[in-house]
Every structure is written in C-alpha cells, then in structure tokens.
Structure 1
C-alpha cells in the first residue's frame, strides 16, 4: 500500500482479548490490527483483563508485536497504567471489555489524547443499549468518545451520530493478515465446511444450509468447527464435528474446503454491513464462500462473481455438485484479489490513521478559528 503515513503514534488499546481466541472473534481482529500498526511504526500497548476462561485457553500468550500486559482488576488498571493512558495519542476501549463502562469513564477522564470506542459487536451493543443492559458501554459515553469505530457500516453509522451524539462514527471492519491466510496446495477433501462458535440464532441456518444438504447427499463431505456446541447435538454421519480451532489452524481448515459456509447472527443481518472476520479469512485462502443474505454484503464481494448467496439447501447442493471446477476456482481467486486489494490489516491500520488525522485536523481548524475570533 502507498498510503501516506502520519507521525508515530502512542496507542493504548483496552480490548476483550488478544491472547486467547477461545469463543470470541476479537482476538484475531486485534492481532491483525496491532501487528499492522506496529509494522507502520506506531507504539502499541494492549491491556487485557486476566480472565480465567481465557487464561486456560491462551493460544498466543505473548504476542510478538506491540506490547501486551494483563491486569487483574479495575483498581490494578488504574494504579499501574494511568500514565500510559494519560500520555497516549490515542486510547481505544473495545466492546465486551469486563467492567467496560467503568473502564470507559476512567479513560475519558484520564486520557489527554484522542479517545475512541471500538465496537466489534455493534448491532449487539445497540440492542443492549435499548434495554440499558450493556455492561461495557453507557449511552451517555458515546458522545464523549472522540471516535466511535464500528465493525458495522451503512446506516448504523448515521444512527450512532444522530441518536447517540457520536461526534464521529466511522466503520472499521475486521480484516485479514495476508501473511497468515493464503491458498495452499493439497487436496480439498471437504465439499463444504463451516467455522463458528455455536449460537442459537445461527444454528437454524447452519442446519438448513449445511446439515440438510449433508443429509440429502450422503456421499458429500462436510465439517463444522467451533466451540460451545451442545453435547447432544446430532449431526449427519457425513458431517465431521471439530472442536475449537486456534487461529494458526484456520488456514489449513479453509484450504481443505471446496466451499465454505458463512452464517450471520440475527442482529447482524438486521443491521447489515456486518461482515465476519471469517469472510475475509476464507476469501484470502481463495476458498469460494457460500453465504446467507444481508444488506451490504454486495459492497464487499460481488454475488455470483466473488461469492455465492443462497437461501435454500437445494441451492447449496447445486453448487457443490454442479458447479464446474474451473468456475469454482475462478470465483475463489476473484474473492482473494478483492480482499487483498481492500480488506487487509494494513488497510485497516491506514484507515485508523486517516481517522486520527482527520480528527486532529478538525481540532486544529477549530482552534485556529477560535484564536482568530
């Protein structure tokens, strides 16, 4: 990328987790972003609450990029990291951070630089805010953050500004690290695979678009990878269930599949413009994506050319059994080219820099106007 770079920033990120990807999509997103920011010369400190369920499942206990520090509780955070937060050019608080609302209040009071909220769960957050049940963000805080970074784009950004008073709501989609996700030679021994933590609202779609095709095509080879599936859940005999896969195993899994299934949570479908990180990872591996339908997906990948949108089991089976191999490969390669051109972690780091630059420029202009008057 030939994106102009701004001067070196001191950045502090308080996120759910970067050390453990167990049961969350935050870790891979933060890893890609922090690595790209560090590569672009920025000083990044990631602060993570030391939680037992992540402590028992750390697949990257010491990230080799930026600096990661665990803290025990809110008091320890305030006591140990006040100076780092106070001196930073940019402090980012992420969604689902334990005691995140209290963390946010502290950051808003302590930080002298720009203050941002990074929502990797925006539709879920807005639903919780409607019921005043979000433990990691209060509606009153949105207007106080200089920047609201949302993994959901589209109309949601306008809503954050109009209804909640955000001075700058900007999309910052998930991304992919092209050094970690790429096509590999070898047999694609799975006709269709799916990777995702169990979710009750996603499961009917997984049943319709993967389990049902498996039942109708006993010779087909299918797989579902992810944690927290109910022990008694019965899959067809030709569906291989795989427990949680750590990020270092994702590329190999995508490269086993002829097609991969993308299934979106109900809140994300309703909001639209909410691509999962899995969409970018699969495309970077040139694995053709079979996806459910939602507003905005066509702005990321072109249906029929770079991915396939389906609603019924019959459509899935038509692709698995009837699409010529050359056409399958072509769609996968087109998707890979599109993602590498627009949705890598380097693109996200550059976009974040651009947001910071715009806010600083606006602040400087306001100060100049105030001095002149």
Structure 2
C-alpha cells in the first residue's frame, strides 16, 4: 500500500529523537511491500546535520518551512492509501494535520501517530478547543510511541476511535555490537539532549552520583549541556552522531537511560536509547518506570535504579564479568522479541485489517 507519512525528519537525528523509531519501522514496513513517502520540513537546522542519505526504501520529500510549501506537500496525501500525520513535526503542526486530512482520499486510512503521547495528552487536557481534539473523530486510528493502557484510555476518553501503542525497538542493521573505542571509555555514560522535562532527573541519576564517585569517570553526550555546571570527573562530548552510537554504548562499563519525567510517570514508554544500548550489548542501568519488565528482565537483562543512590550502589557492585553477562542477555532478548521487524509485522497487520478498500485496490 502507498503510505504518505508526515513527520519531523527521517534523514536527521539532530534534535529529533524520533529518527531512530521512524527509520527502523519504515524500513521494515517497506520490506513488507509498502511504498512510503516521508515528508519533512526544513527546520531546526536538521538538513545541515543529516546523518543518513535519503534511503532506497523510502522516498524523502523535504519542504521549505512555509505555509505555501506545507499546503503543496499536504495535497500529495490524496494519492495515498494510508495517510499518517505524526506529532512534533515542528512546523505548523495543527495546520499540517488539517491540510493533510482534508486532502486524503475518503477511502484512505487516516492515522495520527503520536511520538510523545504524555506531552500531547497534557496539551489536549489544558486546551479543550485544541485542533487535534476536534480532529480525532475524523481519524480512524491513533498509534503511539508507547504509553500502554494509561495512554490508550486517555485517548479514548477524548474521542479517539481506536488507540494502539507501537513501542520502540531495535534496528539491528544500525545498532549492534562493535569493538570498544577509547574516545568513549568511562565507568558510566549517558546520552541525551538537555530538555526541561529531563534535566532534574539527569542531575539525580547521573550528575549526583558522579559528584559522589569522584574516582570514577563519567561521560555525557547530547546537545545543550555546554553551559551546565558539571563535576570534574564528567567529560562532556556534545552531540553524538548516530554512526558513533554503537561505540558510545559498547565501550563504557555501563550506560544510563534517564527517562523524561512525563515518560517515567506514565510508564510503558521505553526510550529508543534502551534498545540502542541493548542492541550494542551494553550493560544498561535505567531509571525505574512501570512496565520495564515487558521489555527487559530487571536484575538479569537490565539494572534498575530508583534514585541516584541506587546508581551509586549498582556501579560499586558491578564487575566486568557481570556487566558483560547483562549486556549479552539484553542483546539476546531484544533480538528475539523487540526488533523493528517485530513491530512492523504488528503495524502491517493493523494497516491491512483496517484498510480493506485500499488493499483491494492494489
């Protein structure tokens, strides 16, 4: 089936945490025979920081950040069997949703794909007249980056016909074990952009333990931390390109996942970093959130910390042999149950069962 997908960016992960999710899912869907066009606006300097070329498995259309260009590409939705508008596109999201869905064929399956459901739902709750709230009744389906039953119930309560979580996963072609790289040597490494919804948790789970373990080496990657006061044993390396993620994850004794506050509170929302780290065979320490056991087994495939004190104790007790064993178990688990091939099989079933007219027309 022909899929028109309107999202933030496929070719750039710069200030775009959804890139890995989009790439893994859409490549796997293309392998199942879907013809995909991804539309992304030229905003936030993402095109200057491309980390992949436009792929053979998906046509990428980059449009100018103008209303005129937006309306032009929205009109192309008319030719699609499935029309997807993602959250957080980054330029005139409400207008894009309205234009895309107005252009879509009456026979097309119309989907809103929310890659930040807690934030979207909070916005909808605070604004009863939000355009998305009004549009839900005209959409057949809401898919979400995660969230479990709390997100499903919240979306249904505000008018969504159907809501199904499609969780993050491992893109094993991109994220996999590699040899250690001395650039990323550390006792604990954390990779994540500086965001208001995450900063205090990074202080609790990463910077606080670093300050108390001054004999250990900590490594911080991600954009926005350049003017943050850091303990002397924390090395800041800035934005880490996707091509270096495997070495960043595979080299340190352990890597840390710190969920944004809204994701941690909601639960059932594993970040892409969880699967990237597991895919590289890393020993992962994650902050505690409900639902982690659905993806990795605490104590055996992942280490779980309730606060900074737990991080300190886990690091003090961690041996190289245990770290290696945890990483190997995590890698085995995600390869067997949590790849984007697994997720794409689920999405393919969802699409084909809900777009019978489009499939019959192929």
Partner deviation per Cα, 1:108-135 (whole Å, 9 max, x = no partner)? 2221210111111000001111122998
For normalisation by structure 2, the TM-score amounts to: 0.90
Aligned length: 353
Does residue 155 of structure 1 match 2:146?
no
Equivalent in the alignment of 2:22: 30
Equivalent in the alignment of 1:181: 175
Larger deviation, residues 326-335 vs 156-165? 156-165
Deviation at 1:166, TM superposition (A): 1.4
Deviation at 1:56, TM superposition (A): 2.9
Equivalent in the alignment of 2:57: 65
> Counterparts of 1:57 and 1:185 in 2: how far apart (Å)?
26
For normalisation by structure 1, the TM-score amounts to: 0.88
> Counterparts of 1:133 and 1:344 in 2: how far apart (Å)?
37
Does residue 351 of structure 1 match 2:346?
yes
Equivalent in the alignment of 1:253: 248
Does residue 94 of structure 1 match 2:86?
yes
Structure 1: stretches of 5+ with no match in the other structure: 1-8, 365-373
> Counterparts of 1:302 and 1:134 in 2: how far apart (Å)?
42
State whether residues 152 and 165 of structure 2, in contact with CA within 8 Å, keep that contact through their aligned partners in structure 1: no
Does residue 224 of structure 1 match 2:220?
yes
Matches within 5 A, 1:261-340: 261-340=256-335
Equivalent in the alignment of 1:370: none
Change (3 A) 1:204 1:197: same
Question: Secondary structure in 2 aligned to 1:13?
Answer: strand
State whether residues 13 and 50 of structure 2, in contact with CA within 8 Å, keep that contact through their aligned partners in structure 1: yes
> Counterparts of 2:235 and 2:33 in 1: how far apart (Å)?
43
Change (3 A) 1:79 1:322: closer
Change (3 A) 1:50 1:185: closer
State whether residues 20 and 61 of structure 1, in contact with CA within 8 Å, keep that contact through their aligned partners in structure 2: no
C-alpha RMSD of matched pairs (Å): 2.3
Deviation at 1:315, TM superposition (A): 2.4
Structure 2: stretches of 5+ with no match in the other structure: none
Deviation at 1:67, TM superposition (A): 0.5
Deviation at 1:320, TM superposition (A): 2.0
Question: Secondary structure in 1 aligned to 2:26?
Answer: helix
Equivalent in the alignment of 1:4: none
Deviation at 1:159, TM superposition (A): 2.0
Partner deviation per Cα, 1:337-360 (whole Å, 9 max, x = no partner)? 111122212122211111112323
Match of 1:192 among 172, 188, 206: 188
Partner deviation per Cα, 1:136-189 (whole Å, 9 max, x = no partner)? x52111222111011123223432453122122001112221011111233673
Match of 1:107 among 95, 100, 119: 100
Change (3 A) 1:362 1:318: farther
